[in-house]
A and B are shown apart, each in its own frame.
Chain A
Amino acid sequence: MTQKPVNQKAWWLILPVVLCVAFSAVLPLMTVVNYSVQDIISPERRVFVGTEWFKSVMRDDDLQGALLRQITFSLSVLLVEIPLGIALALAMPAAGWRSSLVLVLVAISLLIPWNVVGTIWQIFGRTDIGLMGAALTQLGFDYSYTGNATHAWLTVLLMDVWHWTPLVALLCFAGLRAIPDAYYQAASIDGASKLAVFRYIQLPKLRGVLMIAVLLRFMDSFMIYTEPFVLTGGGPGNATTFLSQYLTQKAVGQFDLGPAAAFSLIYFLIILLLCFILYNWMQRVGTADKTEAGHG
């Protein structure tokens, strides 16, 4: 942008915030970096090992398993939640008291604390007292999220969809409201079918919003911890042990601080890289949209 005359006084106002962030984020991060290059045999005995942990962590089979499970999970989440969210947004009423009511109802699952979500579904899925578990058993399915790995996966996925699809839906809802009426009128005049309207008007105009939704959901699901932990505890076996849980097990459970710290950093960098890529892509498409939309 063009150079604006600079007013330096504003920096003083954000100094308190900068100090807080430094204390609560940067310092712990530096601690992790410190741990990642040391072998901590006991609180008193530490040995500097350089990049040793990084190398071993990359070769760890368990870790690679957890990574694979995580990627599969995130992709499944996206595949289900994005189309479902769009469909939900299309079905929601646009205006009036009904609109407000539906918005509130849809948003409720977003407000529930994450461990409570896990607990809800844990009970929900129990074959003895859980509504879903009992119903499925009644219908003849041998449903067990504690015993069957596939069932556990599906339950975790279903829980995530229930919890987070409303976010996608709300974003798409806002995006849809931003489309001027004239487009729909023109499409109706052109004789376009509902499918054509969706394909040629709504979906292209939702592009910006969808990218935000994809970015948010991918990042969040990649870091997911509380809900699956509460629901399945990572089981059966390690069927639903995703990356963050694996990491915690290593660091807190096994007190393998060195490798855990090393992998934390790698984890952090992976997410950072993905965000960077997605964000840049968003920016590029965003400016292209703006130049197209703007008039002379």
Chain B
Amino acid sequence: MARIELDLAHAYKANPQRDEDYALLPLKMSFADGGAYALLGPSGCGKTTLLNIVSGLVKPSHGSVKYDGVDVTARTPQQRNIAQVFQFPVIYDTMTVAENLAFPLRNRGVAADKIKQRVGKIAEMLEMSGQLNTRAAGLTADAKQKISLGRGLVREDVSAVLFDEPLTVIDPHLKWQLRRKLKQIHNELKLTLIYVTHDQVEALTFAEQVVVMTRGRAVQIGSASDLFERPAHTFVGHFIGSPGMNFLNAQIDAAGVTVAGQLLMGATQNLRDKGSVTLGVRPEYVTLAHADAAGAIPATVTQAQDIGTYWLLTATTAEGGTIKARLGTEQVIPKVGDPVWMSVVGSHTCFYKNETLIA
């Protein structure tokens, strides 16, 4: 287990001039010993590059990586003593499950009985004790992925376990079980775990702290509720949540906040004379209101979808903005074309200027 500190940037060209030249814009972050972290972002945002820099498969062009205060930037993954689980299962076809799990320990010269004990323990944790003597090549994808994971866990002194979208090839109904397994393993072994994914469910379920990334930049690091309640960046608001945050154009002057011509709330200390801003509110917090209610704007319903446990309402404002709302099934659901008033201002509403949170 190790505390990992990053203070680096990564560019493919020698002299990066603009933001686009960087694969990873300068960042500084630390992963606490024994913590579970997720790197979340769309494809191409740099999360896999960052993971590979942490593991040692890629050397950053600028900056350093430190494990427990020691600079390990020049060291290989083997020397850093990390374990990595890849997108598709990587197993040794010719070996049995037990031999696969024992392989890293054998390479390090661990005693045979210790190997047996450790392999047994990890196999039990992964619920694979019954398959120890089966040939690894004949198993299903999720079993193989568990073996890949097991090989990482089997070393007791592993400094961190890194996951690169490990559930990609797993059947959807088995993803549940593996996610749960990972969380249980984290609780039992207290290892530093770093998990890369583009799926918010995986990230938020798994991690204590999530690093949201886009286009080479880490835009916010926080817990699931931080990211949900107070996204520091419009990208986070958009990316987290299903569906993501609603964004409406607003004006804040001396009088207060105006959206689509409606004055929604009076100016406060923080919200005064800001000019053009973006109002962000999550569909979970948008409610239907009476006409002319405080903090509500008029809109026309364009879609009403029954999602089983809730209804998803989509409406368009006079300005052409779109608002989605999540409504419980016991409410009266308006029909397509109905005019409605939607309450968008409340304690959960956030305001953004230039994509960054101001209030």
Check: A61 CB closer than 8 A to any chain B CB: no
Contacts of B93 in A (CB 8 A): 204-205, 292
> When the two chains form their complex, are residues B76 and A188 in contact, meaning their CB atoms are under 8 A apart?
yes
> When the two chains form their complex, are residues B107 and A186 in contact, meaning their CB atoms are under 8 A apart?
no
Q: Which residues of A contact B (CB under 8 A)?
A: 180, 182-183, 185-186, 188-193, 196, 200-201, 204-205, 292, 295-296
Chain B residue with minimal CB distance to A191? Answer: B107
- In the A-B complex, the 10 residue pairs with the closest CB atoms: A191-B107, A295-B141, A295-B169, A186-B90, A190-B104, A182-B86, A200-B92, A292-B137, A204-B93, A189-B77
> When the two chains form their complex, are residues B141 and A192 in contact, meaning their CB atoms are under 8 A apart?
no
Q: Which of B87, B104, B171 contacts A191 (CB 8 A)?
A: B104
> When the two chains form their complex, are residues A296 and B171 in contact, meaning their CB atoms are under 8 A apart?
yes
Given contacts A183-B90, A186-B84, contact A196 B78 (CB under 8 A): no
B135-150 interface with A by 8 A CB criterion: 137-138, 140-141, 148
Given contacts A191-B104, A192-B103, contact A295 B88 (CB under 8 A): yes
Task: Using C-beta atoms within 8 Å of the partner chain, give the interface range for chain B.
Answer: 20 to 34
> When the two chains form their complex, are residues A296 and B151 in contact, meaning their CB atoms are under 8 A apart?
no
> When the two chains form their complex, are residues B138 and A292 in contact, meaning their CB atoms are under 8 A apart?
yes
**Distance, CA A183 to CA B91, complexed state (A):** 8
Contacts of B82 in A (CB 8 A): 189
* Centre residue among B84, B87, B95, B140 by max chain A CB count within 10 A: B84
* Centre residue among B83, B107, B140 by max chain A CB count within 10 A: B107
**Distance, CA A193 to CA B103, complexed state (A):** 11
Chain A residue with minimal CB distance to B169? Answer: A295
> When the two chains form their complex, are residues A190 and B86 in contact, meaning their CB atoms are under 8 A apart?
no
Identify 23 residue pairs between A and B in the complex whose beta-carbon atoms are under 8 Å apart, listed by A's number: A182-B86, A182-B88, A182-B90, A183-B90, A185-B57, A186-B84, A186-B86, A186-B148, A188-B78, A189-B78, A189-B82, A189-B83, A189-B84, A189-B104, A190-B103, A191-B108, A192-B103, A192-B107, A196-B107, A200-B94, A200-B95, A295-B169, A296-B141
**Distance, CA A292 to CA B86, complexed state (A):** 17
> When the two chains form their complex, are residues B86 and A296 in contact, meaning their CB atoms are under 8 A apart?
no
* Contact indicator per residue, chain B 301-334, by CB within 8 Å of chain A (1) or not (0): 0000000000000000000000000000000000
**Distance, CA A190 to CA B107, complexed state (A):** 7
A-B CB pair tally, cutoff 8 Å = 58
Contacts of B78 in A (CB 8 A): 188-189, 191
**Distance, CA A185 to CA B169, complexed state (A):** 19
Contacts of A296 in B (CB 8 A): 140-141, 169-171
Contacts of A201 in B (CB 8 A): 92
**Distance, CA A205 to CA B93, complexed state (A):** 9
**Distance, CA A205 to CA B83, complexed state (A):** 23
Contacts of B169 in A (CB 8 A): 295-296
**Distance, CA A193 to CA B104, complexed state (A):** 11
In the complex, what's the smallest C-beta–C-beta distance from A147 to chain B, in angstroms?
Answer: 48
**Distance, CA A105 to CA B32, complexed state (A):** 53
In the complex, what's the smallest C-beta–C-beta distance from B131 to chain A, in angstroms?
Answer: 15
In the complex, what's the smallest C-beta–C-beta distance from B278 to chain A, in angstroms?
Answer: 41
B342-359 interface with A by 8 A CB criterion: none
Since A186-B90, A190-B151 are in contact, a sample of 9 more A-B pairs with Cβ atoms closer than 8 Å, ordered by chain A residue number, is: A182-B90, A183-B90, A188-B78, A189-B152, A191-B107, A192-B103, A204-B92, A204-B94, A295-B88
Contacts of A189 in B (CB 8 A): 55, 77-78, 82-84, 104, 152
Chain A residue with minimal CB distance to B52? Answer: A185
Contacts of B57 in A (CB 8 A): 185
Contacts of A183 in B (CB 8 A): 90
**Distance, CA A188 to CA B80, complexed state (A):** 11
In the complex, what's the smallest C-beta–C-beta distance from B321 to chain A, in angstroms?
Answer: 42
Chain B residue with minimal CB distance to A186? Answer: B90
**Distance, CA A186 to CA B93, complexed state (A):** 13
**Distance, CA A17 to CA B278, complexed state (A):** 71
Q: Which of A185, A196, A204 contacts B77 (CB 8 A)?
A: A185
**Distance, CA A193 to CA B107, complexed state (A):** 8
